[in-house]
């Protein structure tokens, strides 16, 4: 009996990531948050950028790192309980005048008000799930630790795919440099790479245009039409709520 086709992506969690990250989520049946990997400083795990009248601004969640050189992402603890107030205020200050702030502004502020967990992974997932709901993405999110598997690099990814029942693994393009593609073929799991090229531009409140900023920028700039500027919606020409 032929297995039911199932596409899986396995990626570390990020803080309010860019639109491409959500396109990847929307392209698979299960999105596995790979957070039992080592936390890396000055990375997307705990920070992202928004646009302001003065240029791009980093929003960084302060985390405990002193002496914790090998801690995992899901072990990383936030060290300032009021970070979310500052980030929310920064978004309001930068985007309150955006053409569609009224569409998603309240929902974004609510996500910040309810981001109370002390663990970075849980906070990242809180925002990922909340923003997926705003975009109409219903992909199942899970943790890599939900599966009892072992190994490193390709071996671990293959083990997670098998445990999740995947017939296809959709990877980010940078993984071409280290994935053993033959191993996937031998395991009967199709390996494909996501293409982040070709996104259309939209009217950003603070030019010049920059694709590589948080999804927050797209939401408050385009509102119910946000999906028109993403690549993987089957109903890309239909606005949210249509």
236 domain-assigned: no
CA distance 168 to 81: 40
Query: How many separate domains does the chain show?
Result: 1
Q: pLDDT at position 151, please?
A: 81
pTM attached to this predicted model: 0.93
Q: pLDDT at position 231, please?
A: 85
2 domain-assigned: no
Distances from the Cα of 1 to the Cαs of 4, 66, 187, 189, in angstroms? 9, 53, 17, 16
Q: pLDDT at position 236, please?
A: 47
Q: Which domain holds residue 213?
A: 7-229
237 domain-assigned: no
242 domain-assigned: no
127 domain-assigned: yes
Q: pLDDT at position 178, please?
A: 85
190 domain-assigned: yes
Q: Are strands 55-60 and 140-143 parallel, antiparallel or unpaired?
A: unpaired
176 domain-assigned: yes
How many CA within 13 A on the CB side of residue 65? Answer: 13
Spatial CB neighbours of 127, under 8 Å, sequence gap ≥ 6: 15, 16, 111, 115
Q: pLDDT at position 1, please?
A: 39
131 domain-assigned: yes
Per the CB < 8 A criterion, the answer to whether 107 and 116 are in contact is no
Q: pLDDT at position 69, please?
A: 84
CA distance 30 to 10: 9
The list of the chain residues with pLDDT below 70 reads 1-3, 233-242
Q: pLDDT at position 240, please?
A: 53
């Amino acid at each position: 009996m032929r297995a039911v086709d199932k596409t899986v992506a396995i990626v570390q969690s990020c803080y309010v990531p860019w639109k491409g990250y959500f396109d990847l989520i929307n392209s698979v049946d299960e999105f596995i948050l790979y957070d039992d990997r080592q936390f890396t400083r000055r990375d997307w795990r705990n920070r992202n950028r928004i646009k302001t009248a003065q240029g791009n601004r980093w929003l960084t969640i302060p985390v405990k790192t002193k002496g914790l050189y090998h801690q995992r992402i899901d072990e990383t603890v936030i060290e300032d309980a009021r970070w979310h107030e500052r980030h929310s205020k920064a978004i309001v200050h930068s985007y309150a005048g955006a053409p569609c702030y009224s569409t998603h502004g309240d929902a974004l502020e609510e996500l910040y008000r309810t981001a109370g967990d002390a663990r970075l992974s849980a906070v990242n997932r809180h925002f990922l799930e909340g923003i997926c709901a705003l975009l109409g993405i219903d992909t199942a999110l899970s943790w890599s630790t939900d599966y009892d598997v072992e190994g490193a690099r390709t071996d671990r990814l293959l083990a997670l795919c098998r445990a999740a029942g995947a017939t296809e693994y959709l990877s980010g393009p940078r993984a071409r440099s280290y994935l053993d593609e033959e191993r996937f073929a031998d395991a009967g799991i199709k390996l494909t790479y996501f293409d982040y090229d070709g996104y259309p531009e939209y009217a950003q409140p603070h030019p010049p245009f920059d694709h590589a900023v948080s999804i927050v920028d797209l939401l408050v700039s385009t509102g119910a039409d946000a999906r028109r500027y993403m690549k993987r919606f089957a109903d890309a020409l239909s606005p949210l709520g249509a």
